[in-house]
Structure 1
Amino acid sequence: MKRRFLFLASLIAMIAAGSCKKFLEESPTFLVRDNYYLNDQEVTAALNGVYDILSQETMWGGQIPIRHNATTDESYFSYQTFPTGPFRNNHDPSDTYVTTLWRNLYTGIERANTLLSKIDSTNMDDNRRSIVKGEALFLRGFYYFTLVQYFGDVPLKLTHSESIDELDIERTPVKQVYEQIISDMKEAESRVQPAAVIKNSGEISRSAVRGILARVYLTMAGAPLHDTEKFKDALEYAKKIKESGDHVLNPVYKTIFINECQDIEDYKECIWEAECKGANEDEFREGGRIGNENGVLCRANSFSVVGYAYGFNSTTYKLFNLFNPLDVRRDWAISTYTMDTAGVKKSIAATNIYGRNCAKWRREYELVSPKNKNYTPTNFPMLRYADVLLMHAEAENEVNGATPVALGSLNLVRNRAGLPDTTIADQDGLRLEIRNERARELCFEGLRRHDLIRWGIYVQTMQDAADEIVTMKGPAYAAINASNVSQRHLLYPIPQVEMSLNKKMIQNPYW
């Protein structure tokens, strides 16, 4: 189900023309008319609007994995035209990427709050009402989770805006925001349907809720909260998915990403996806940038046939060498070729590690024709079963040590890659192996930066990455981008526009 497509088809009917100059975003907040949300059709349109945020090219349909998470120990931003941004770690409170991220997340929250405030008075089936409420609650919780990961303490607002006077809101401590996130997601868990019933990666299933809850708890167990009791909760929720029987690893790693290029349903592996649609040339303009900005470098003149790609994201020496040469993931996740102006593949020299792009999503597999130079129909994985297994292994190891249970989940992921079981018997050794396995399995999927932060090793890891780039004679600018990281980069700055409009807002440390 292409949620975002359905939303835009009814956008004019969904929102009213009211304006709010200042609440938590640069552009106006839309205020709802009292005569909307009267039936199932209107509620569905409103719910699709809450989903709509996910797939926008400035969000998970493009910039979050490609630009916000470009510079880690597994990847670097290999396009020099843009001089400033989070991918250079030289951004500031006026940065467009930072401001847009803040604005979009609060837009999604405002839409969810509006829907939740109206749905109980809507004329619709009670079971359907409960499901919609669950999906809206989950998405509100997920948007707040994203906010606290990037910004720390943020204003917690749980009602929709009735007046432009609702402007000045204090930042809520991270711990309190997490309490609301968990409350929203746990209620959602009881309302949404099992994945085996939905059979659709674009719609929030019970597995999606449980998997993101496991991610939330792992984050809380690490920095900055260090609430290590939450490892037990993460273990519980990952275990629920594993024991549900609804999910299994796709036996062929590359097929996961080919399916996303071709909009082939694979909910057993891809539990939750941000969905894009078409070539961005119809009235809905629903294409994203997955495979275009972060695909295998292709300078083809006939891009409508071959598929143009900029190669923004490239591998580090560290990531490439984390792979065993027999690991089937390496030469799929990391390119072995580029494509010239004629669309002909040119092999990359074996010694040219830094010249290798992210290659998970390849434009040659798109079915939409003709192709657009800059937009693709490719979906993005928000949560995969492989991630759940690795979270399960991590939480089990932290709670009980290097048990057969932890090794079992880890080895399922390794075996799919063509690797034998690991038999690491100590907790510290298994902890390191799980962290490395997350890089191998989930590289370029926008998770590494937050993993490094919650593990408390982000700043040191990036300094080490910079040193390695210099030692291995990688691009000088990539070393600078990594070496720019300091304590202040653990959080983004609060956008300048919000600082100027919200009189109760306080800036993050070091900014």
Structure 2
Amino acid sequence: MKAISTYFIAFVTGLSVLSISSCKKALQETPYSFYSPENFYKNESDAKAAINGVYAELYTYDLYLQPFWNITILDDDHVSGADWFLGTTGAGNPQAYFGWQAPWIGCYTIIARANTVLENVPSITNMDADVKKRILGEAYFLRGWAYFQLVQLYGGVPIRLKALSAENPEVNVPRATVKETYDVIISDFKSAETNLFPLGHPKAGEAGRVNQGVAKAFLAKTYLTMASGAATGNVTVRGGTDNGYYTYAKNIVAGHEGMDSKALYTLARDKAAEVISSNLYALTPSWKDLWSIAGRNNKEQMWELQSLAGTAFINNLSAYFPARSTFGQGAVWTTNNHYNDYDIEDKRVLDGITHNYTTLQGTNIFYPFAQSALYKVVNGVTYNNSNTATSERAYTIKYSAVADPTVANSDAFFPLLRYSEVLLMYAEAENEVNGATTAAYDALNTVRFRSFPTTGTPAVPVPAAYAPTGMTPEQFRSYVLAERARELNLEGIRRFDLIRWGIYLQVMNKIGTGQNNISKVRARKNLLLPLPLNELNSNKAIGGKNNLDW
């Protein structure tokens, strides 16, 4: 396995490993500190170690070891699970979760480390010029990525573009507006795009690093988020207690007032089109193979969180999401209502949901009860299902392909960007600019065709694979939002989609109490997370004022 690099990074709390070049090769590198840059940034190895330290924060209990995916995945209309796990963030009560302050801390740690790289790497003379350029591009990207997460989770935030030092000692920084925060994000992603190399370039870096295509895609995603937040109109969503179709008048997202939605959608469409026309990325033909160990770091998985069993770079995704887990059964699953939003021929449920499994205690279970003719008896084995809320669990396969499923912390890879999302971003943006054009349909159907069987000679997708023809722009908008939910289920996308479209509160409260008695009731305060107490107390420029109603 080749992953991000082969360096140890020492931080204040100790050592943290970013990756290794071989699963069998032990690491023996000199530890470095971010706190003595004048003694550290001497050569190319130092620069590589420093940028690896920025990536390394993704693997901590601030971010993807658990808190970040917990907060972003568990809080939407399509997720259910054990009440002992979803009873905090999953029930709209994030402050009861131990990691509620972690995303702020993790993102600002990335920002601080990226600032140090950007300030010190340019002065290194003893290194390859292209590698220097790439490292600076990675630092710009990761800083922009961190601010992008912050503005979505907290609104406008303090902007820190220089490392704290004797020359820059100011810790009291006021909150920027949402627009000002987006300006920084766009600037950083553009700088990343300029400095990074495309996929396949000999200097683009190892698997797990961001490249030019990733920067372009996140720039498109930023424009798309701003555009939808500023858009007006209606959105139809399937949901509620009866899984019916409900049309909501969208709200303009706070801070997006006055933004030019159509102009931003044009920028989003054009940047997504650059990624598509590069022909460097492609959908994995098999949905099931996409989530296998062999499917990691393929041309669809544009940016994946690299993990490796036996190192510090692990997470506990495989303990919570797969059907069989260290808990006996997984603690998170997709709702029955969302399962029913897929066509019966859709491989995203045929192959992407676990229909037959054996718990750690040895109990054979099938899902769903309504399709017992298909799944009750398979290969001579009889499976059981009591047709109750506790037994009807649609477990995803997305995080089950790990080296050792018997350990709580393992090497599950997490998708940070997939090419299918780029296609859906293009479809959404093109529709908002020009309506449901052939180009918008082509991008949408490209994603759908992968998930359906074919028929005839020459082979063509079955009729169910095609999105309905003749949709109005509003219908197409709603369909793409639903398709994003089907394609990107349990990947930390749905909550952000509902919020950027200004329908999060309406959709969640239409459910009320969801499957397994998980509360979906939400108030205005749930649109943003509360600022951490340490930030409120230490940053005097904020004045102790938290987000709305917190």
| TM-score, structure 2 normalization | 0.80
Whether 2:331 is the aligned partner of 1:327: answer no
Match of 1:2 in 2: 3
Q: Shift of the alpha carbon at 1:498?
A: 1.3
Match of 2:422 in 1: 388
**Contact 2:318 2:408 (8 Å CA) reproduced:** no
Match of 2:214 in 1: 208
**Contact 1:396 1:403 (8 Å CA) reproduced:** yes
* Residue type of the alignment partner of 2:330: G
Whether 2:78 is the aligned partner of 1:74: answer yes
Q: Shift of the alpha carbon at 1:346?
A: 2.4
Match of 2:466 in 1: 421
SS class of match (1:97): coil
SS class of match (1:334): coil
Match of 1:305 in 2: none
SS class of match (2:143): helix
CA distance in 1, matches of 2:71, 2:328: 15
CA distance in 1, matches of 2:406, 2:369: 32
The partner residue of 1:196 within 200, 206, 211 is 200
SS class of match (1:219): helix
Deviations 1:59-80 (A, max 9, x none): 234332344321311112x123
Instruction: Flag the 1:168–1:106 CA change in 2: closer, same or farther, 3 A.
Output: same
Compare the two structures and name the one with the higher helix fraction: 1
**Contact 2:85 2:331 (8 Å CA) reproduced:** no
Higher RCO, 1 vs 2 (CA within 8 Å, ≥6 residues apart) = 1
**Contact 2:328 2:360 (8 Å CA) reproduced:** no
Identity of aligned residues (%): 30
CA distance in 2, matches of 1:121, 1:415: 50
CA distance in 1, matches of 2:180, 2:9: 35
Matches within 5 A, 1:81-230: 81-82=84-85, 85-92=88-95, 96-122=98-124, 123-163=126-166, 165-197=169-201, 198=204, 201-223=207-229, 224=253, 225=256, 227=259, 228=261, 229-230=263-264
Q: Shift of the alpha carbon at 1:219?
A: 0.7
Whether 2:367 is the aligned partner of 1:348: answer yes
Instruction: Flag the 1:212–1:234 CA change in 2: closer, same or farther, 3 A.
Output: same
Matches within 5 A, 1:472-511: 474-476=515-517, 478=518, 480=519, 482-483=520-521, 485-505=522-542, 506-511=545-550
Compare the two structures and name the one with the higher strand fraction: 2
CA distance in 2, matches of 1:83, 1:453: 19
Instruction: Flag the 1:51–1:397 CA change in 2: closer, same or farther, 3 A.
Output: same
CA distance in 1, matches of 2:361, 2:530: 43
**Contact 1:69 1:446 (8 Å CA) reproduced:** yes
Aligned length: 468
Q: Shift of the alpha carbon at 1:405?
A: 0.2
Matches within 5 A, 1:295-306: 295-298=322-325
**Contact 2:172 2:540 (8 Å CA) reproduced:** yes
CA distance in 1, matches of 2:12, 2:474: 56
CA distance in 2, matches of 1:335, 1:353: 17
Deviations 1:399-435 (A, max 9, x none): 0000000000000011111142222431111111101
**Contact 2:83 2:516 (8 Å CA) reproduced:** no
Instruction: Flag the 1:495–1:293 CA change in 2: closer, same or farther, 3 A.
Output: same
Match of 2:22 in 1: none
**Contact 1:36 1:42 (8 Å CA) reproduced:** yes
**Contact 2:445 2:466 (8 Å CA) reproduced:** yes
SS class of match (1:135): helix
**Contact 1:291 1:378 (8 Å CA) reproduced:** yes
**Contact 1:294 1:357 (8 Å CA) reproduced:** no
CA distance in 1, matches of 2:504, 2:303: 27
* Residue type of the alignment partner of 1:177: T
Gaps of 5+ in 1: 17-28, 300-307
**Contact 2:144 2:185 (8 Å CA) reproduced:** yes
Match of 1:358 in 2: 395
Instruction: Flag the 1:424–1:312 CA change in 2: closer, same or farther, 3 A.
Output: farther
Kindly name which structure, 1 or 2, has the bigger radius of gyration based on alpha carbons: 2
The partner residue of 1:402 within 433, 436, 439 is 436
Matches within 5 A, 1:244-393: 244-259=278-293, 264-266=296-298, 268-279=299-310, 284-298=311-325, 311-342=330-361, 345-351=364-370, 352=387, 355-363=392-400, 365-366=401-402, 368=403, 371-393=405-427
CA distance in 2, matches of 1:98, 1:155: 19
Q: Shift of the alpha carbon at 1:458?
A: 0.3
* Residue type of the alignment partner of 2:336: Y
The partner residue of 1:243 within 264, 277, 293 is 277
Q: Shift of the alpha carbon at 1:37?
A: 1.1
Match of 2:18 in 1: none
SS class of match (2:416): strand
* Residue type of the alignment partner of 1:350: F
| TM-score, structure 1 normalization | 0.86
Match of 1:21 in 2: none
Gaps of 5+ in 2: 16-32, 230-252, 371-386, 453-463
Match of 2:27 in 1: none
**Contact 1:109 1:140 (8 Å CA) reproduced:** yes
CA distance in 1, matches of 2:388, 2:481: 22
CA distance in 2, matches of 1:70, 1:206: 31
Segment drifting more, 173-182 vs 200-209 = 200-209
